[in-house]
Structure 1
Amino acid sequence: MIALLTSIILVIPAGVALAQQPPAVIEKMHPALDAVVDVKAEITVIADGFQWVEGPVWIEKEKMLLFSDVMQNSVYKWTAQKGAVLYLKPSGYTQPAPRGEELGSNGLALNAQGQLVLCQHGDRRVAVMNAATAGPQPQYTTLAGSYNGKKFNSPNDLAIKSNGDIYFTDPPYGLEKGPQDPARELFYQGVYRIAKNGAVTLLTDSLTRPNGIAFFPGEKSLLIANSDPQQPHWYIYDLNEQGDLINGRIFFNGTAIFQKEPRSPDGVKINRKGIVFAPGPGGVWIINKEGKALGRIRTNIITSNCAFTADQKTLFITADHCVLKVALK
């Protein structure tokens, strides 16, 4: 049973022109959705006019949302008071030679020291910004740029464990000429770990298009979205005592929904109750920890990623050229 129960509300930040949006709705697929989100919750566009937005992260100290515009090599900041303004440029490609395609930052995260960590497509590395989040500067230190002497494809998304280890995915989307780019050095799509001492470990090379990545509560298991039309699945792995991935299996099979609505899994976030928020076909899928779909925030626009506020009462959604938000319970 699916109930279509709410419409999109457009809010125009100062200086931002909004494109017309199709209606957005919340679809209820299971009664347990009622404990996660009110089906009458307003879905609000808070910023628009970008090229391709991704990798959002909420900075509680500054009460701001940061998100990447991958094609514009920029990170933007959104606050309730001032809307969206440019925060950081260049964000992902710092070389002098011009290039196009997905050259900017993608996934963003905060480490335990409160520093901004970025997956940088153009520079093909995971890096940390050498400035406080309150005073951004486009100066970076590489945390990892290669594995066994070969440059990464284009680090895409990341999750930071409580011990400081950084887990990240490395599909080929940021290569200027895609998987066939002559500059490509690693001919698989890896998932890696960067230890606190800088050591890089390949955790798996078996996924065809690893993308979004997030820990379940307790950090004993990890979820990875696979953005492959032939295998549009979300995979779950257990972690052993060393933090390696074991017992990989399908958590949620997206084949049936992909056949109806062609859009592969992308970013992913998991709340403190183990509820998965998984952008994919049609919007953000809401899935319980047993892999049962509870519902969907149907955006009717290509949806890339999402992020919670610190209290997890608000969900921000990056979708194509705009950013949305919706209240959660």
Structure 2
Amino acid sequence: MLFRPISLLFVLSLAAAAAEAVPEFKGSIERLDPALDGLIAPGTGIEVLASGFNWSEGPVWRDGGLVFSDVPENTVFGWKEGDTAAKVVLKPSGSLSGDGQGSNGLQVDAQGNLILCQHGERRVARLEKDGSFTPLADKYEGKRFNSPNDLTIAKSGVIFFTDPPYGLKKGETPELPQHGVYSVTPGGKVSLVVGDIRFPNGIALSPDEKTLYVAVSDPKDTRVMAYDLQADGSVKNGRVFFNAQGLKSPERKGGCDGMKVDAQGNLWTTGPGGVLVISKEGKHLGSILTGQATANCAFGGADRSTLYITADMFLLRVKTLAKGL
């Protein structure tokens, strides 16, 4: 085999290409209402913790650090204070055969177990201590889900999750007629909670668990819906809580996707431009503008006051004055 010396010019061109692969992050915080100052202190900035991901998603605080999905890479990454880069903690994460999409939304149950929406396996599953997965919900009325996307867990242990078709493999035909919002009890009973919206995505509960919020990522009508949650797990009085369609522009990418609720009931939802901060009355207080199509967010840190954000190729954080649930 003939070896040729590598020129300095070639090395420099590779370094330049690598630098171009991860563009410089430019973000800001937009203040639309003085009430935002009580949630994000004036002068607060946006910090880049890690970058270079394909599509980062589903962050959750666990065991003193953050874990999050890279959906196309079929990987869960972990980051802790002091780390210079995110580390692989689980691969494969959502497609065990490796030919499908990985995990998306992640949560931690009351026992500390990682619960995953697995796109490739089309199910919600629990990661066991030996590295295996236990399916918690994979079918409704005998038909496979589309691709469970995001989830929230009630104090009772009931899991609510969304099921848009985003994670289906090319050529896969949906078995269910709806893009549903479902629940699964600790005993394994699966119920359809909402069946009349297209592209349900992020999902969250109010602090008193009387309201279920569902983000809709429909590119023609991106919004957050609110529903009155009943004692039996059903919902009524579905209504538009916040319509974000008018915020979309070439400069403000993305739609309503993942979201979290703080202890005061404010909603922190990804949307056009980054993360929108919405009061519990539905007023837009301001936005964390990332300049990226922004997928999801989660509160974490020792006092759960730091907002971690997955924005396309970036993992970001913003110190807040709020407290996550």
Q: Which moved more, 1:277-286 or 1:182-191?
A: 182-191
2:318 maps to 1:326:
yes
Q: How does 1:299-310 map to 2 (within 5 A)?
A: 299-309=290-300
The separation in 2 between residues aligned to 1:323 and 1:80, in whole angstroms, is 13
Query: 1:119: which partner in 2?
Result: 117
The separation in 1 between residues aligned to 2:253 and 2:290, in whole angstroms, is 14
SS state at 1:186 partner: coil
Query: 1:63: which partner in 2?
Result: 64
Q: How does 1:102-251 map to 2 (within 5 A)?
A: 103-131=101-129, 138-177=131-170, 181-251=171-241
Query: 2:248: which partner in 1?
Result: 258
Counterpart of 2:308, as a letter, is F
Query: 1:41: which partner in 2?
Result: 44
Query: 1:269: which partner in 2?
Result: 260
Aligned match for 2:34, one of 31, 36, 43 = 31
SS state at 2:72 partner: helix
The separation in 2 between residues aligned to 1:183 and 1:32, in whole angstroms, is 47
2:313 maps to 1:288:
no
The separation in 1 between residues aligned to 2:45 and 2:229, in whole angstroms, is 38
How much has 1:278 moved relative to structure 2?
Answer: 0.7
Query: 2:80: which partner in 1?
Result: 79
TM-score (norm 2): 0.89
- The unaligned stretches of length 5 or more in structure 2 are 1-17
SS state at 1:72 partner: coil
How much has 1:312 moved relative to structure 2?
Answer: 2.8
Query: 2:24: which partner in 1?
Result: 21
The separation in 2 between residues aligned to 1:32 and 1:117, in whole angstroms, is 34
The separation in 1 between residues aligned to 2:24 and 2:162, in whole angstroms, is 31
How much has 1:302 moved relative to structure 2?
Answer: 1.1
2:94 maps to 1:92:
yes
How much has 1:204 moved relative to structure 2?
Answer: 1.1
The separation in 2 between residues aligned to 1:122 and 1:138, in whole angstroms, is 17
How much has 1:262 moved relative to structure 2?
Answer: 4.7
Query: 1:312: which partner in 2?
Result: 304
The separation in 2 between residues aligned to 1:129 and 1:36, in whole angstroms, is 34
8 Å CA contact retained: 2:253, 2:292: no
Identity of aligned residues (%): 46
8 Å CA contact retained: 1:64, 1:77: yes
How much has 1:99 moved relative to structure 2?
Answer: 2.4
How much has 1:245 moved relative to structure 2?
Answer: 1.2
The separation in 1 between residues aligned to 2:173 and 2:53, in whole angstroms, is 28
How much has 1:145 moved relative to structure 2?
Answer: 0.3
The separation in 2 between residues aligned to 1:113 and 1:312, in whole angstroms, is 18
Residues 250-301 of structure 1: per-residue CA shift (max 9 Å, x gap): 0001121125645211101011111111111000000000000000000001
TM-score (norm 1): 0.88
Counterpart of 2:122, as a letter, is R
Residues 92-130 of structure 1: per-residue CA shift (max 9 Å, x gap): 0013xx525xx1000000111110000000000000001
Residues 220-244 of structure 1: per-residue CA shift (max 9 Å, x gap): 0011000002221100001112121
Residues 110-167 of structure 1: per-residue CA shift (max 9 Å, x gap): 1111100000000000000011xxxxx5410000100001000000000000000000
Counterpart of 1:87, as a letter, is V
How much has 1:314 moved relative to structure 2?
Answer: 0.5
The separation in 2 between residues aligned to 1:259 and 1:187, in whole angstroms, is 31
Paired residues in the alignment total 300
Counterpart of 2:151, as a letter, is L
The separation in 1 between residues aligned to 2:254 and 2:69, in whole angstroms, is 20
CA RMSD of aligned residues (A): 1.6
The separation in 1 between residues aligned to 2:223 and 2:285, in whole angstroms, is 17
